Amino acid sequence: MHAVIMAGGRGTRFWPRSREKKPKHLLDILSDRTIIQETVDRIRPLIRPKNILIVTGRRHAGELKKQLPEIPAENILIEPVGRNTAACIGLAAVHIRKKAKDDVMVVLPSDHGIADPAEYRSVIAAAASAAEKKSALVTVGLKPTSPHTGFGYMEGGASAGQVSGKKLLRVKAFREKPDRKQAEAFLKSGNFYWNSGMFIWKASTILAEIRQFLPDLHAGLTTIEAAMGKASEAKTLAAVYRRLASVSIDYGVMEKAKDVFMIPADFGWSDVGSWDTLWEISAKDEKGNAATGGSFALFEEVQNSLVHSPKKLVALVGVQDIIVVETKDALLVCRRGKSQDVKKIVDILEARGKTQLL
């Protein structure tokens, strides 16, 4: 079994900590380990480092090698340009096929938080067993805890029995991020699950689906695979990758494929998608205040607020529902519930040419 960790993206909602040179998954936001180190730590009891692949961009490859010395350097796969998750997963699949024939690959985002790693591994192991036996596409459906409008959803279909003690369902339908009314209806029905972005399948299975639904991508991957190990490999990869369309695996394959299964799961998942999410999953005092990342914070008549300031004392007085994030060159203050809009600040800085702050 192989793991493929997708380590792209800019993490703009975690500005000012997250920057282009060091996005969210390379930061120690949740603990003294960086988020991607925690991701690798979680899967290592199931999959040896030599079978863990990281797909990233050239800008972050060096830092990943520093942070993950146990991962062989050749397992850091560098995309010449970002082309969304279908190309990322396809690239990893042809590498696995070249290396290990038709192994099961567990595709994981690099930036999730998991409260119960043991249950997480139990679910992944069961999903891998289902993917091996059925030669099918398997994903993980997360039991929703709120009518969240920022996640995609999956509708559970007919039962496909059990695998290693875990319920296996057919996926009836994928649903895009809903509005509030739809999300409330999904939650009430009890038959909808958050789309985790975790995928488990054999390399041959996903490549066959890509060939059917994304033939241009499959042709490009075939050309790249043929050049592997040759002097022309880097040149071929760069030339082919730039011609590929940017398509997500969800839209390009999962929403169209017939045999898609999911294991419903509840292992304390968080997408760690914003400062609001960090407040939600962090330990708080009796008034709902959290100080993260080793912050020294003082709260006087303060409620439901977050301070992230590893280097400098931050004192709040007489406020509520506030997020404060301090770095050496920037200070963010926003109302809790609005941190998704922090990415708009990044857009403004980019438009004004303030590259030193990006």
- CATH label of the domain that carries residue 240: 3.90.550.10
Let me know whether 158 and 204 are in one domain.
Answer: yes
CB 15 within 8 A of CB 332: yes
Looking at the structure, do residues 131 and 195 belong to the same domain, yes or no?
A: yes
Q: Is the same domain home to 174 and 315?
A: no
Given a cut of 80, is residue 343 above it in pLDDT? yes
Among 251, 270, 289, the domain boundary falls at: 270
According to the model, what pLDDT value does residue 50 have?
96
Token output for 150: 């920022």
Cis ω before 16 (30° cut-off from 0): yes
Are 147 and 184 spatial neighbours (Cβ–Cβ below 8 Å)?
yes
Which residues are bridge partners to 141 per DSSP? Answer: 195, 264
Verify that 21 and 141 share a domain, yes or no: yes
Is the per-residue pLDDT at 165 higher than 70?
yes
Question: With 0-12 CB in 10 A as exposed, 13-18 as middle and 19+ as buried, what is 260?
Answer: buried
From 52, 50, 25, select the one nearest 36 (Cα to Cα): 25
Task: For residue range 246-282, list pLDDT tens digits in order.
Answer: 999 999 999 999 989 999 999 999 888 889 999 999 9
| Residue 57 and residue 187 in one domain | yes
Determine the average pLDDT of the residues in 97-106. Answer: 91
Which residue shows structure tokens 């192994």?
103
| Same structural domain, 230 and 294 | no
Q: Domain boundary residue among 219, 249, 270?
A: 270
Do 195 and 81 share a structural domain? Answer: yes
Closest to 9 measured CA to CA, from 345, 332, 343? 343
Q: Answer yes or no: do 151 and 42 share one domain.
A: yes
Single pTM value for the model: 0.92
* 178 and 306 fall within a common domain: no
Considering only CA atoms, give the Rg of the chain: 21
The string of pLDDT tens digits covering residues 29-79 is: 888 899 999 999 999 999 999 999 999 999 999 999 999 999 999 999 999
Sign of CA dihedral 119, 125, 128, 133: negative
Domain boundary, last residue among 231, 251, 270: 270
Residues 285 and 260 in one domain: no
- CA–CA dist 23, 330 (Å, integer): 16
- Domain of 174, in residue numbers: 2-270
How many domains, in total, are found in the chain? 2
Task: State what percent of residues in the chain have pLDDT above 90.
Answer: 85
- Shared-domain flag, residues 250 and 290: no
The stretch 297-313 carries a mean pLDDT of: 95
For 1, 99, 110, 333, the CA distances from 47, given in Å and listed in that order, are 7, 15, 15, 41
Asked if 333 and 345 touch (Cβ cutoff 8 Å), the reply is no
The pLDDT assigned to 13 comes to 83
Residues 107 and 224 in one domain: yes
Minimal CA–CA distance to 40: which of 6, 83, 63?
Answer: 6
Helix ranges restricted to H, the chain: 35-43, 58-67, 84-100, 117-134, 180-189, 203-213, 215-227, 233-243, 249, 275-281, 342-351
